[in-house]
Copies of this chain bind each other. A is one copy, B any other.
Amino acid sequence: MLERPWLPRLAGDDLLYRRLFGFAGTEAAVARLDEANQRVVQAMRNADPVAVGIQPAGKVVPGLEGRMILHAGPPLDFANMSDPVRGAAAGAVLFEGWADSLPQADELLRAGAITFDSCHHHDAVGPMGGITSPSMPVFVVQDRAGKRNAFCTLNEGIGAVMRFGANGPEVINRLNWFKNEFGPALGAALRRSGGIPLKPIMAKALLMGDEMHQRNTAASVLFYQAVMPHLVAACSGDALLRAIRFLGETEQFFLNIAMAAGKIMGDTGHDVGEGSVVTAMCRNGYEFGIRVSGLGNKWWKARVNTPKGMYFSGFSEADANPDLGDSAIVETIGLGGMCLPASPAVIGFVGAGGFRKGVAIFEELQGIVVSSNPGWTIPALDGRATLIGIDIRAVAATGVEPLINTGIAHKVAGRGQVGAGTVTAPLGCFEAACQELGRKLQP
């Protein structure tokens, strides 16, 4: 297992630690951090996320009560909310029946009649806008090795979808179908299965060209295969055919499930309560936020970057919304942009170059993590393990920012996806977190 060689070298480098921490650091303090970090990544690796059911968010997500809507990323004032997030929120208000029309929904939002909070504050994660309201069905993912649950909405497919801010009848109708037919049916299948363990699916999907952020083609069809015997037993007729068709068409269906698995793994590491490992990364279209294992529940934030990448025909960077979504939780556990060589087809799709460039990026990113995850391997690197445990010291010291694969949203609500690319986690978050860690460590 990879154990980062740069850490011992950093220890005793007074100037570097002075810059990172605001004081020189001590051998003992650094050794304690290193040891804690190994416990954090071991906890992350030990987590055993299992998809056990689907329930209305309002029934299972802790603290999601009344007229409350969750969003992706760190906490966000309505004033700073980008257009796709506002559009999605208005759609959710309409879907919940809190308003009869979109203008009325918008009015309620502007009047502050709807409470907003981060998904991450409620054991949940949400893609892009991440809008999650009480009546939406969510995956219930349970840690079989611990006590945590994590929740995530169901992937809506492509085209006009709420996560990109669309809120027309097509979007609301799909959510009603999720709520009334598809969610209950798939949930019954998951219950009947006794739970579908996610780590084996993710391990196998890595051998099949997924990096599980931009590409979930393999993981989605493996999930389809795992759930199918139970789905045909749990429902029938047209409801079954509709479910089969939707699952078969939705190649990113597993992304939301992988995100819930990542939330379990990240939070399980966070529960260690020590160390300098990043346990969550997320974006709300305005700011990028990270949480660090030894720094409690505070978010370390910086203005979010706009992705670089490949734009669909007719669009350019001028159309792009600043980056958003909780999906960077998959990079937090070493997938997505942190394991490009697992997914050669994605490297080009996100505009990151060819396979060799992907390998070079992976090798650079190896310098900012504290360990590897032998349970997940990269076939084209002869089974080398994926990375795990982004160390804020390493990021701040080297300036190498974690790389995130991402879809690019149009900045106008509901226009949808305009491309795919990569975005880096801004250095500022890591530097600020290091300073705070320094204050905590100071003798």
With a cutoff of 8 Å between Cβ atoms, the chain B residues found around residue A355 in the complex are: 379-382
**Any chain B CB within 8 A of the CB of A99?**
no
With a cutoff of 8 Å between Cβ atoms, the chain B residues found around residue A207 in the complex are: 209, 217, 345
Minimum CB distance partner of A345 in chain B: B379
With a cutoff of 8 Å between Cβ atoms, the chain B residues found around residue A217 in the complex are: 204, 207-208
With a cutoff of 8 Å between Cβ atoms, the chain B residues found around residue A236 in the complex are: 236
A interface secondary structure, majority: helix
Contact between B209 and A228, CB atoms less than 8 A apart: no
With a cutoff of 8 Å between Cβ atoms, the chain B residues found around residue A380 in the complex are: 344, 355, 380
Minimum CB distance partner of A240 in chain B: B232
**Any chain B CB within 8 A of the CB of A399?**
no
Partner of A221 from the list B222, B229, B233 (CB cut-off 8 Å) is B222
Q: How far is the CA of A38 from the CA of B221 in the complex (A)?
A: 37
With a cutoff of 8 Å between Cβ atoms, the chain B residues found around residue A30 in the complex are: none
Minimum CB distance partner of A377 in chain B: B345
Bitwise, A328-356 to B at CB < 8 A (1) or not (0) is 00000000000000011100100000110
Bitwise, A349-365 to B at CB < 8 A (1) or not (0) is 00000110000000000
Within 8 A of B (CB), among A193-243: 204, 207-209, 217-218, 221-222, 224-226, 228-229, 232-233, 236, 240-241
With a cutoff of 8 Å between Cβ atoms, the chain B residues found around residue A204 in the complex are: 217
Contact between A248 and B232, CB atoms less than 8 A apart: no
Expressed in whole angstroms, the minimum distance between the Cβ of A249 and any Cβ of chain B is 10
Partner of A208 from the list B218, B225, B241 (CB cut-off 8 Å) is B218
With a cutoff of 8 Å between Cβ atoms, the chain B residues found around residue A229 in the complex are: 241, 244-245, 248
Expressed in whole angstroms, the minimum distance between the Cβ of A402 and any Cβ of chain B is 23
Q: How far is the CA of A204 from the CA of B251 in the complex (A)?
A: 12
Give the oligomeric copy count: 2
Contact between A348 and B382, CB atoms less than 8 A apart: yes
**Any chain B CB within 8 A of the CB of A146?**
no
Minimum CB distance partner of A245 in chain B: B229
With a cutoff of 8 Å between Cβ atoms, the chain B residues found around residue A344 in the complex are: 379-380, 382
Partner of A379 from the list B209, B225, B228, B381 (CB cut-off 8 Å) is B209
Q: Contacts A345-B379, A380-B344 hold; do A228 and B244 have CB atoms under 8 A apart?
A: yes
Q: How far is the CA of A245 from the CA of B225 in the complex (A)?
A: 9
Expressed in whole angstroms, the minimum distance between the Cβ of A239 and any Cβ of chain B is 11
Contact between B232 and A244, CB atoms less than 8 A apart: yes
With a cutoff of 8 Å between Cβ atoms, the chain B residues found around residue A233 in the complex are: 241
**Any chain B CB within 8 A of the CB of A383?**
yes
Within 8 A of B (CB), among A149-167: none
Q: How far is the CA of A240 from the CA of B232 in the complex (A)?
A: 8
Q: How far is the CA of A398 from the CA of B55 in the complex (A)?
A: 64
Minimum CB distance partner of A359 in chain B: B380
With a cutoff of 8 Å between Cβ atoms, the chain B residues found around residue A245 in the complex are: 229
With a cutoff of 8 Å between Cβ atoms, the chain B residues found around residue A209 in the complex are: 207-209, 379
Minimum CB distance partner of A233 in chain B: B241
Q: How far is the CA of A259 from the CA of B12 in the complex (A)?
A: 63
With a cutoff of 8 Å between Cβ atoms, the chain B residues found around residue A228 in the complex are: 224, 228, 244, 248
Q: How far is the CA of A379 from the CA of B344 in the complex (A)?
A: 5
Q: Of A204, A224, A229, A240, which is in contact with the most chain B CB atoms at under 10 Å from its CB? A: A229
Within 8 A of B (CB), among A389-440: none
With a cutoff of 8 Å between Cβ atoms, the chain B residues found around residue A218 in the complex are: 208, 218
Contact between B225 and A248, CB atoms less than 8 A apart: yes
Q: How far is the CA of A253 from the CA of B24 in the complex (A)?
A: 62
Q: Of A233, A248, A379, A383, which is in contact with the most chain B CB atoms at under 10 Å from its CB? A: A379
- In the complex, besides A232-B232, A232-B241, A232-B244, 11 extra interface pairs with C-beta distance below 8 angstroms are A207-B345, A208-B218, A218-B218, A221-B224, A221-B225, A226-B248, A228-B228, A233-B241, A236-B236, A348-B382, A380-B380
User: Can you list 16 A-B pairs, Cβ within 8 angstroms, ordered by A?
Assistant: A208-B218, A218-B218, A221-B221, A224-B228, A225-B225, A225-B248, A228-B248, A229-B241, A229-B248, A232-B244, A236-B236, A344-B380, A344-B382, A345-B379, A354-B382, A355-B379
| 8 A-B pairs closest in CB distance | A344-B379, A208-B208, A354-B382, A380-B380, A345-B379, A344-B380, A208-B209, A229-B244
